[in-house]
Structure 1
Amino acid sequence: MEAFSPETIQLSPDESIIIRLLDSTDAPKLTTYFKGLSAETRSYFAPHSFVEETVRHICRTLNPAEIVRLIATSADNQTIIAYVLLLSGATPSDAVRYQALGIPINVETDFSIAPSIADAYQSRGLGNHLMKKALTIARAMHKERIVLWGGVQARNIRAHRYYQKYGFIEVGQFENDVLNFDMCLTLSEMNNG
């Protein structure tokens, strides 16, 4: 499927980035990526643990029909600088919250997204390229809606604005250790520009 093909982008005049699917040989690079994230960035991303054993298991059991795992790498040295998950449907806890909001999650038509970007690459435009790739994949897989995996923390103002820019709307809120907003994007209502 063409939507899954690697893409090379110019992040700046002197830096090329490759966006592609995670593959089974990427475990050491992904472990290094997680170890390099600041405590703050780690606190915003929690779909799974960061330990090496988890990363090895992920890379051994890749299944894009269930979870698409995108990475962005530096074209120069192939260092991972971003990691994005696209889960068909939603986690059980997210599904329960959305059901309570009157928004049932459908594994066939819904994706949950969980992006992370290395600290040194935040606010440099990489997130826009990753979102465009995620939207291309969502459409190719006939998804109709994207929800935020685990919501977005209210204190993560930059991420909240980023999602709003793409047309995600707040549909609810919940608290665990902090206040979070559930947000979703209906692809048919999105501006394709």
Structure 2
Amino acid sequence: MPPTIAALAADPSPLTRTVTARGIPFLVRALLPEDRAALTGFLTGLSATSRRYWHGDTDPADAAADWIDAIGRYDKLRLVAHCPDQLTETTAHPPDRPADLAGVIDLSFCLPDGYEITRYAGYGITLDPARTVRFGPCVADRWQGHGLAAALLPAAYAAARLLGCDRAVLFGGVQATNHRARRFYQRHGFTEAGTFTDEHGDGVDMLLDLP
């Protein structure tokens, strides 16, 4: 049986790994309660463009508080990557010295009606809720273009596999105008399943059968 999200919150060690981007090591691990300040800083530091494509207009402190509160609950699993200049032997930092975050991976193991599962059905694609993860990565602006986004993919896939999933869909799709992201996902095996329009504008749904 796959572990539960609650079990991984109690013992997140199976999620921890080191990845390398352009020869620089990054520690990838589960989001922890003591990361609240670092997560707030990460979200605050996103450029307007990055925020529009990933985070939206939610207040960073409120979003960070909600994400911390969701650890081990609901359907959420979030991974974070440490900046290399603060990489240590431990997987956590004390609250008064939070690690800067280079990236965040948002994984959701629920497919509510009216969103991806409904849109994909309209494309003739049936998503199995027990085997599909909604996937949304974001890299801090200072680390974009360094290969970190690609380096984080195996960590995300391993976490999804650990919880019994073998297919990933982009969480909320990707905005049709975000050509850079669309090319990135295509280079890494994602296929475009169909297009849609919602309150954020025109979007493209993309999926990947996990390697």
Give the 3-state SS of the residue equivalent to 2:82 in structure 1: strand
Q: Report the residue type matching 1:161 in the other structure.
A: R
For residues 166 and 5 of structure 1, the distance between their equivalents in structure 2, rounded to whole angstroms, comes to 21
Of the three residues 201, 204, 209, the one matched with 1:178 is 201
Give distance in 2, aligned partners of 1:63 and 1:106. Answer: 22
- TM-score (norm. length: structure 2): 0.79
Segments of 5+ residues of structure 1 without an aligned counterpart are: none
CA contact (8 A) 1:17 1:75 kept: yes
Q: Are 1:83 and 2:92 matched, yes or no?
A: no
Amino acid at match of 1:141: L
What runs of 5+ residues in structure 2 fail to find an aligned partner?
4-11, 87-98
Q: Which residue of 1 aligns with 2:132?
A: 110
Matches of residues 9-24 of structure 1 in structure 2 within 5 Å?
A: 9-13=19-23, 15-24=24-33
Q: Does the C-alpha gap of structure 1 residues 82 and 67 become closer, same or farther in structure 2, counting only changes over 3 Å?
A: same
The total of aligned residue pairs comes to 187
Q: 1:5 to 1:96 in 2, by over 3 A?
A: closer
Does residue 62 (structure 1) correspond to residue 83 (structure 2)? The answer is no
Q: Which deviates further from its counterpart, 101-110 or 160-169?
A: 101-110
Query: For residue 74 of structure 1, what is the amino acid of its counterpart?
Result: C
What secondary structure, in the 3-state scheme, does the structure 1 residue paired with 2:85 have?
Answer: coil
Higher mean C-alpha displacement, 73-82 vs 26-35: 73-82
Moved beyond 4 Å, runs of 4+: none
Cα deviation for residue 47 of structure 1 reads: 7.6
Q: Distance in 2 between matches of 1:128 and 1:3?
A: 22
Structure with larger RCO (C-alpha < 8 A, sep 6+):
2
The CA deviation at 1:154 is 1.9
Q: 2:14 aligned to 4, 7, 11, which one?
A: 4
Q: Does 1:133 align with 2:143?
A: no
Show the counterpart of 2:35. Answer: 26
Secondary structure at the counterpart of residue 177 of structure 2: coil
CA distance in 2, matches of 1:51, 1:102: 37
How many Å separate the matches in 2 of 1:142 and 1:152? 24
Q: Is the 8 A contact 1:18 1:75 kept in 2?
A: yes
CA distance in 1, matches of 2:155, 2:56: 20
SS of the residue 2:205 aligns to = strand
> 3-state SS of the aligned residue for 2:157?
helix
The 3 A distance-change label for structure 1 pair 62 and 87 is same
TM-score for both structures, normalised by structure 1: 0.86
